[in-house]
Amino acid sequence: MLKLTYYSHSCFLLDNGEHQIIIDPFLTGNPTAPIKADEVKAKFIVATHAHGDHLGDSFPIAKANDGTFIAVNELANYAIEEGVTAHNMHLGGGWQFPFGYLKFTIAHHGSADGKGRYMGNPAGVIIKTGGKTLYHTGDTSLFLDMKLIGETNKIDIMTVCIGGNFTMDIDDAVRAVQFVNPEVVIPMHYNTFPVINADPNEFKSKVEALGKKCIVMDFNKPVTFE
């Protein structure tokens, strides 16, 4: 069983009934966030890259929950400098955590902090927990190697950025779904700011035209995958 909760933008909480993992917890300063950072209960905090709308509240959440921050090496080292417990990883590497397996994938994007300090490669992430395999694309352009991700993993749930401007738009995201071939698709990274406005229902109908299932998740309303 995997219970998935969407906190807007690219932030999802995964709960397998025993462990909670939060990805890209951008809550403070997020005009669409349905909860505050100090309400998050999660021992594992994953950031796909260092941009403020992804790293977000990762460090305070990790500290408040006595948790572990998981990221690529350069970003994890920054967390350690800030007094956060971290597990350093890198692209293509996987690790078996108490909640399950996690592996970082490539993403074509940038990753620096607000002052321009290099924070390693941006990433997507594959997480196997609760009997399901989830692929969160992070922020990325469309790339052909998504085919390889789909061929080497049976993806149950794919969360995919659709907002354009910084990432894939709807049509590129539809192509990404064709490459990865997941069971269920969930759009993300849209309508947080005007520059990434996109209609998730347009995306949903284009995905459904491929014979794929798409869920446009409401904020803070968990969906359970049995």
Residues that bind Mn ion (CB under 5 A): 53, 139
Q: How far apart are CA 9 and CA 163, in angstroms?
A: 10
Minimum Å distance from CB 162 to Mn ion? 12
Paired residues of 71 in beta bridges: 88
Q: Of Ni ion, Mn ion, none, which one does residue 9 interact with (CB within 5 to 8 Å by kind)?
A: none
Minimum Å distance from CB 16 to Mn ion? 26
Return the number of the residue (51 or 132) whose C-beta is nearest Ni ion: 51
Q: Of Mn ion, Ni ion, none, which one does residue 206 interact with (CB within 5 to 8 Å by kind)?
A: none
CA distances from 223 to 13, 16, 177, 205, 218 (A): 11, 12, 20, 20, 9
Return the number of the residue (15 or 53) whose C-beta is nearest Mn ion: 53
CA distances from 49 to 18, 22, 63, 108 (A): 26, 14, 19, 11
Minimum Å distance from CB 24 to Mn ion? 8
Element (H, E) at 72: strand 68-72
Q: Of Mn ion, Ni ion, none, which one does residue 57 interact with (CB within 5 to 8 Å by kind)?
A: none
Minimum Å distance from CB 111 to Ni ion? 7
DSSP state of 27: -
DSSP state of 218: P
* Residues lying near Ni ion in the complex (CB under 5 A): 51, 139
Minimum Å distance from CB 112 to Ni ion? 10
| Amino acid present at 54 | H
Return the number of the residue (52 or 92) whose C-beta is nearest Ni ion: 52
Q: Of Ni ion, Mn ion, none, which one does residue 172 interact with (CB within 5 to 8 Å by kind)?
A: none
Angle value at C-alpha 158, between 208 and 101, nearest 5 degrees:
155
Element (H, E) at 38: none
Which residues make Cβ contacts (< 8 Å) with residue 95, sequence separation at least 6?
87, 89, 101, 102, 103
Which residues make Cβ contacts (< 8 Å) with residue 78, sequence separation at least 6?
50, 113, 117, 119
Return the number of the residue (51 or 204) whose C-beta is nearest Ni ion: 51
Q: Of Ni ion, Mn ion, none, which one does residue 24 interact with (CB within 5 to 8 Å by kind)?
A: none
Return the number of the residue (128 or 189) whose C-beta is nearest Mn ion: 189
Minimum Å distance from CB 211 to Mn ion? 29
Return the number of the residue (139 or 172) whose C-beta is nearest Mn ion: 139
